[in-house]
Amino acid sequence: MSRCPTSRSNGPRACDARRPAAERGVSQTTAMASIAYWIQRADFSASDHETVTSEGAIEVLRSHNWEAELRLQAEFEAAGKECCPPGIGFLASDGPILHICPTIGGTSMVHFHPTRARGLLDVLRSSKAVHTKLGVEQAEVVELIHWFFAGRHDWIRRKLPAA
C-alpha cells in the first residue's frame, strides 16, 4: 500500500479520496487499547467495571441482561417512581464518554459527550455538546464502539446529531 504524499502542493489530505468514506476528513484523538466501563441501572445506581477492549465491550453489551433492566425501568415508570434508562458507559482517558442505552425493540439510544466537564461552567457548556441518536441499530452500535476505542471522536460526532 502506498503512503499518502504530504508535500506542500497536495497537502496531507491528498489521499482522502482513497480512504473509506467514513474516514475522510476525520481527525483521530487518542486510541485506547482498553477502557473502564460502568453499567447504569434504572434506579440511578451504577456498577463500575474493569477495563475492556472494544471486543470485550461489545461482548458485555450483548451478554448483559438488558431485558431485566428494562423491566425494572417499566416497573418504576408504572409506579410513578423516578428512573432513568439503563445503559453501559465508557469513559475515555482524554474525557469523551460514549453511553449506550438498549431499548425494548433491540435498538439503542446512544449519547456521546465529546468533553469531560471539570466544573459548573463546563457542565453548562458541555450540555449543549451532547450528541444523541435514538433507534440506533445493533450493527451501528458495534461500529460506534470500535470508533470510540480507536479515538475517532470526530467521526462519532458526524454520526450522532448534536442535541
Structural domain spans, the chain: 32-159
Which pTM was predicted? 0.74
pLDDT of residue 117: 54
- What would the mean pLDDT of 88-106 be, rounded to a whole number? 93
- Name the band, by pLDDT with cuts 50, 70 and 90, for residue 114: confident
- What would the mean pLDDT of 145-156 be, rounded to a whole number? 92
Q: Which helix (H) or strand (E) holds 76?
A: helix 66-78
> Exposed, middle or buried by CB within 10 Å (0-12, 13-18, 19+), for 86?
buried
Strand partners, 52: 35
- What would the mean pLDDT of 43-63 be, rounded to a whole number? 96
pLDDT of 125 above 60: no
Q: Which residue has the higher pLDDT, 4 or 33?
A: 33
Q: Residue type at 62?
A: R
Q: How many CB atoms lie within 10 A of CB 9?
A: 6
Q: Which residue has the higher pLDDT, 21 or 97?
A: 97
Percent of the chain whose predicted confidence (pLDDT) is above 90:
57
pLDDT of residue 121: 53
Are the C-beta atoms of residues 2 and 14 closer than 8 Å to each other?
A: no
pLDDT of residue 115: 74
- Name the band, by pLDDT with cuts 50, 70 and 90, for residue 70: very high
Euclidean distance between CA atoms 5 and 83, whole angstroms? 53
- Residue in the block written with cell 463546563: 122
pLDDT of residue 71: 97
CA distances from 99 to 9, 134, 141, 156 (A): 42, 12, 10, 12
Q: Which helix (H) or strand (E) holds 39?
A: strand 35-40
- What would the mean pLDDT of 41-66 be, rounded to a whole number? 96
